[in-house]
Structures are given as structure tokens and as C-alpha cells.
Structure 1
């Protein structure tokens, strides 16, 4: 299970949305779609991180046969910050704050454009 208190995920790769596992696709709500799909290796176990139109889905693989899914609706966050340089040598970071989990960070080393993710979260939390 994920310890959400001050969690930090370091993204190692971006995947094509067409590679989303069918188990995850089956869990999407009506009219929900995957917007961004990433892999994180530095968390205590490998993780897949999906940003959908409504929430973040984190799939951790402590046991490859029994993945653990965590669902974080954007509407439950109270604030967020984005550090987005969009240059190869600089890191990009998304920090999300909630009453329930304090702070959750996603670090994106290299060139990533986080503007769509920021827009989705911003629309959900006002």
C-alpha cells in the first residue's frame, strides 16, 4: 500500500495512452479518459501513474500478479503548484496538497509539459 504522507514519485518514462492495461481501462468512469500515462521506478516499488480527466490513478506492483490501485480525485485536493521549465536539463515538478495526505509530489526529470495536467486539476479544485 502507498503511504500517502508526503509521498514523492520520480517519473522515469512516459508511455503511450494506448498501452494502458485493460484492467485499468475497465476501472475508468463513464466519459473518463487517460490523458497522461507515466512510469515511476524510484518509489519503493515500480508504479504506473495515470492522469485521467477526473483523477490520478496509481498502480503499484509489490507483487506483479497482484497490483494495488489507488485513486485520487482532483476535486479532493485543496491546492497545487507546478514547476515547469520544459527544458531537458531542468526538472519539472507537480505538488498536490490535501487535508488527508498533506503533500504528494511528482518529479518529471527532463522535458515534460505539465500544462494540461495543471489545467485539469485547476478546473476541479476551482
Structure 2
């Protein structure tokens, strides 16, 4: 399970959305699609981070045959902040805040364009 007291994910790789596992595809709501697909190196186990058109899906693999899924709807976030640099030597960061888990953060080392993710979240946060 995700420890939301230490909810920082360090993104290590971006994957093609066509590589999303079938079990995750089956969990998408009608009209929902995977927009961005990342891999995070998070102690003690790696995670897949999917930004869909409606929510963030985090899949952790403590036991490969029994992945744990966490769903974070964009509409439940009350605020967010972004540090998005065009310099590949700097990190990019996305922090999301809500009433239930306080803060969840994603670090994107190197050059990542977060504009699509920012649009998705910005459209849902009131």
C-alpha cells in the first residue's frame, strides 16, 4: 500500500501508452484513456504511474502477481504546483494537494514536458 506520509515518486522512465498492461486497461472507465505512462523508482518497490484523462493510477508491485492499485481522481485535488524546466540538468516537479492525503509529489529528473498533465489537472481543480 502507498504510505501517503511519504508520497514522493521519482520518475525514471516514460513509456509508450500502448504498453499499458491489460489488467489496467480493464480498469478504465468508459471514455477514459491513458494519456501519460511513467515508471517510478520508489523504495522498496517500483511503481507504474498512469495519468489518464480523469485520474492518476498508481500501480505498485510488492508482489508481481498481486499488484496494488491506487486511484487518485483529479477532481479531488484542491490545489497543485508545478516546476517545469526546459533544462535537462534540472528536475521537474508536480505536487498535488487534497484533504485526504495532504500532498503527493512526483519528481521528473531531466527534460519532461508536463504541459498535458498540467492541462488535465488544471481542468479538474476548481
Fold match by TM threshold 0.5: yes
**Cα shift at 1:6:** 4.1
Supply the distance in 1 between the matched residues of 2:71 and 2:43 (Cα, whole angstroms). 17
User: In structure 2, the residue corresponding to 1:40 is in which secondary structure?
Assistant: strand
Paired residue for 2:71?
71
User: In structure 1, the residue corresponding to 2:70 is in which secondary structure?
Assistant: strand
**Cα shift at 1:57:** 0.1
**Cα shift at 1:44:** 2.4
Q: Which runs of 4+ in 1 moved over 3 A?
A: none
Unaligned runs of 5+ in 1: none
State TM-score, norm by structure 2. Answer: 0.97
CA contact (8 A) 1:9 1:43 kept: no
Supply the distance in 1 between the matched residues of 2:16 and 2:45 (Cα, whole angstroms). 21
**1:113 has 2:113 as partner:** yes
1:4-23 equivalences in 2 (<5 Å): 4-23=4-23
State TM-score, norm by structure 1. Answer: 0.97
